[in-house]
Amino acid sequence: MRKAVAIYGGSFDPPHISHVLAAVYALKVSGLEQVLVVPVFEHAFQKQLTPFQHRLRMCELSFAGIAGVEVSSVERELETPSLTLRTIEHLSRVHPDWAMRLLIGSDVLSDTSKWHAFERIRELAPPYVVARPGFDHPNAQAAFLPDVSSTRVREALATRGTRESDALLAACVPSAVLDYINEQDLYRR
């Protein structure tokens, strides 16, 4: 019997509580045995990202102590730009015993037409879609996730020290990640 593993890729710039809750939700509700968190190394759409080593470390801090969730640096070793298909094909060669699903938020579905060979990705790792507030989709699992995005978190980080920003950060970013961001002086404008 093959091991049911969700591949959960993303920029994670920075990771926030909805990322963590989506992984836990998928583990507890879907029958998946493991979630492999894969921060993108170099974004295919040329997004400017915080350096990989910081995003990888923030993911490790975010998902630390959650049984069944592992953070992988696999995209660092693969050809760039990072492509989901390339990552899935690599993982299927390395782990032929895995039955993979691609864990994605419903907010991402509108962009899949821009992805390289999304139909092939769908064949190799059928999407497990978790609903995100404001992004309804008939195939999305009805997870109850906070309405937060990395964009909103970055905006709040840029205005740290205001009551509104600090409240959002305290509620939406794992405390170990906030500590790391402050120690490394990340997301300052």
Residue 67: give its domain's CATH number: 3.40.50.620
Residue 90's nearest CA partner among 9, 1, 33 is 9
Residue 36, pLDDT score? 98
Phi, psi of 59, deg, nearest 5: -65, -45
Residue 179: inside a domain: no
Q: For residues 76 and 52, is the Cβ–Cβ distance under 8 A?
A: yes
Residue 28: inside a domain: yes
Q: For residues 60 and 71, is the Cβ–Cβ distance under 8 A?
A: yes
Which residue(s) pair with 5 in the sheet? Answer: 34, 100
Residue 21, pLDDT score? 93
pTM recorded for the entire structure? 0.90
Domain membership of residue 43 as a residue range: 3-146
Residue 188: inside a domain: no
Residue 175, pLDDT score? 96
Phi, psi of 67, deg, nearest 5: -60, 135
Neighbour tally for 82: CB within 10 Å: 21
In angstroms, what is the C-alpha Rg of the chain?
Answer: 16
Neighbour tally for 150: CB within 10 Å: 21
- Looking from the CA of 168 toward its CB, the CA atoms found within 13 Å total 18
Residue 62: inside a domain: yes
Domain count, the chain: 1
Residue 34: inside a domain: yes
Q: Give me the sign of the Cα torsion angle 132, 36, 24, 1.
A: positive
Residue 168: inside a domain: no
Residue 83: inside a domain: yes
Residue 64, pLDDT score? 97
Tokens representing 115 are 């992805």
- pLDDT tens string for the chain (189 positions)? 889 999 999 999 999 999 999 999 999 988 899 999 999 998 876 788 999 999 999 999 999 999 999 999 999 998 888 889 999 999 999 999 999 999 998 777 777 778 788 899 999 999 998 876 555 655 655 666 788 889 999 999 999 999 999 999 999 999 999 999 999 999 986
Residue 140, pLDDT score? 54
Q: For residues 159 and 165, is the Cβ–Cβ distance under 8 A?
A: yes
Q: Which amino acid is at 79?
A: E
Query: Cα separation of 166 and 157, whole Å?
Result: 8
